[in-house]
A and B are shown apart, each in its own frame.
Chain A
């Protein structure tokens, strides 16, 4: 593997930033309406901010692109962190049920929060609490000290996901939320039900998450060797683990609270980038943020243009892409586990 020089870090991140900008531009140009790319460019240059084109580009598509970036980055970085912390290539906030826990927390507030005076503002903290509780549960049930068993971890995730979905449907049924299409969108994951006002929350959570993860990238590298080895190499394992778990829960909670359950972003992007860039977390963490952002923006473009005016939930697109990849990884992982 190539050595990680500052020059390489800068070059790679610059290239990824360009890819992200390209994705963002695509996100602004593509849509169901008949705007020509030239009209979009004119709006971006500041032409007539009161026109319908300006509304479409700046007040429909731009918020969506921004939110897609924030959510995609949060999910991809959480994927990287989970995979390092649990030393398991299959770890992903969606597969492990952590997104499900966040959604459950959010739905709990949406369905019953009104009775105790909690409004929409309480949704992101509730989603954060849900993802944190699920992470702790996962550790308690599957994470026996030392190496976390992949089987236990996946089983716990599967079971918790089923439980969370059932609980969400139950809460929605008893509170009348079921009557609209809202809960369905929550369960599949969509950027359509999002408003630009909530982007600030996600940005704060993502910044905090990245602010915790990037300085600890070296510890993450050592943690992948195993907790005991990391401890011997001078890592304050327990403290760093706590910080990173909190950071991932924050990011997953923020992502889920605005976009529902969008799966597999935390699986596809980290693995793709590990293949391309190597396993060093000092590069992997920021690269995952940029890559995840670009990926989700592109998936959302597919979601809102594939069927013309009818919109697909973006979670359906990421899951269609991610499901097969997950099975492939599981198969490869199994084979390697049996190899001498």
Chain B
């Protein structure tokens, strides 16, 4: 027992020293293990799918082409041994409470780990470029990033002339989780012409009380929960929600919340969902008075007139 600590420290120091030696770019990775579905999706998108030798179970579920690859455990319980057995020259993961410890142990054992955070827009695009450089597909990654930035400018330009729409994006209904401040989704909502009342929460994905949602009075609820119950049916439990009165509770694909390589598509989808005439801007916590509109995205029911006292 007494021996182990110095040995581990020594190994860690040697690993750090060898990593810091010289400033030449790291060699191109040929055997990659991805422990996160959005990083897996990025690798596949930039043409580096063949370099993958193992993925987490969630990645395998989302990417049918990768089902033949060995899996190394779930998002929350990846197996150190299974990762090592694949002899990867690069392990990519998102630093989070569940994987930070694994990353540390892998590094101690001499495995190269690339930790790519994915909360903010810059982080997501940075991850895409960093992955491209490490797997020798830098050009494809830069192209993807350029497409996303292009779509971004286009959508922002279109939204600039329109009044902002109070929109809340729901990740989970019960307990309620929404998109708060600082995440790439929050940035997409704003670019697409939305005003996110949940940006008042300091966290990127806060848990919110239903009471909060009712007081926030969103004109649009973007429901990315994949819940079998129709959004309009679920949210009409609280008929004072303007989004319910306007029939603008829209089902959007749950993968929109994944920080993957196709943010341009997600952004255009959000822009379409928010681009509705007849939604007046108004001050917070006051009932909306605009005329109802039938929704086109998602399966919103025919709208009911807003029942508001004149």
Residues of A within 8 A of B238 (CB): 55, 59-60
A-B contact pairs, 28 of them (CB 8 A): A31-B209, A32-B209, A32-B211, A32-B212, A33-B212, A33-B215, A48-B309, A50-B240, A50-B307, A50-B308, A52-B214, A52-B215, A52-B217, A56-B211, A60-B209, A173-B77, A178-B74, A179-B58, A179-B75, A179-B76, A181-B172, A181-B207, A193-B174, A309-B206, A309-B208, A309-B209, A311-B207, A311-B209
Instruction: Using CB atoms, name the residue of chain B closest to A61.
Output: B211
Instruction: Using CB atoms, name the residue of chain A closest to B172.
Output: A180
Shortest distance from the beta carbon of B106 to any chain A beta carbon, whole Å: 22
Q: Which residues of A contact B (CB under 8 A)?
A: 31-34, 48, 50-52, 54-56, 59-61, 173, 178-181, 185, 190, 192-193, 195, 304, 309-311
Structural contact, B215 and A311, CB atoms closer than 8 A:
no
Shortest distance from the beta carbon of B200 to any chain A beta carbon, whole Å: 9
Looking at the complex, which one of B214, B308, B309 makes contact with A60 (CB distance below 8 Å)? B214
Q: Which residues of B contact A (CB under 8 A)?
A: 58, 74-77, 172, 174-175, 177, 201, 206-212, 214-215, 217, 237-241, 285, 287, 307-309
Structural contact, A55 and B208, CB atoms closer than 8 A:
no
Shortest distance from the beta carbon of A120 to any chain B beta carbon, whole Å: 10
Given contact pairs A173-B77, A179-B75, A31 touches B211 in the complex (Cβ within 8 A)? yes
Given contact pairs A185-B175, A193-B175, A55 touches B240 in the complex (Cβ within 8 A)? yes
Residues of A within 8 A of B309 (CB): 48
Given contact pairs A31-B211, A60-B214, A309-B209, A55 touches B175 in the complex (Cβ within 8 A)? no
Structural contact, B237 and A310, CB atoms closer than 8 A:
no
The answer for the CA separation of A178 and B76 in the assembled complex, in Å, is 9
The answer for the CA separation of A81 and B208 in the assembled complex, in Å, is 38
Shortest distance from the beta carbon of B283 to any chain A beta carbon, whole Å: 14
Shortest distance from the beta carbon of B233 to any chain A beta carbon, whole Å: 12
Interface centre among B58, B172, B209, B238 (most CB of A within 10 A): B209
The answer for the CA separation of A60 and B206 in the assembled complex, in Å, is 19
Structural contact, B74 and A56, CB atoms closer than 8 A:
no
Structural contact, B175 and A60, CB atoms closer than 8 A:
no
The answer for the CA separation of A29 and B209 in the assembled complex, in Å, is 15
Shortest distance from the beta carbon of B281 to any chain A beta carbon, whole Å: 18
Structural contact, B237 and A59, CB atoms closer than 8 A:
yes
Residues of A within 8 A of B217 (CB): 52
Shortest distance from the beta carbon of B284 to any chain A beta carbon, whole Å: 11
Structural contact, B172 and A60, CB atoms closer than 8 A:
no
Shortest distance from the beta carbon of B95 to any chain A beta carbon, whole Å: 18
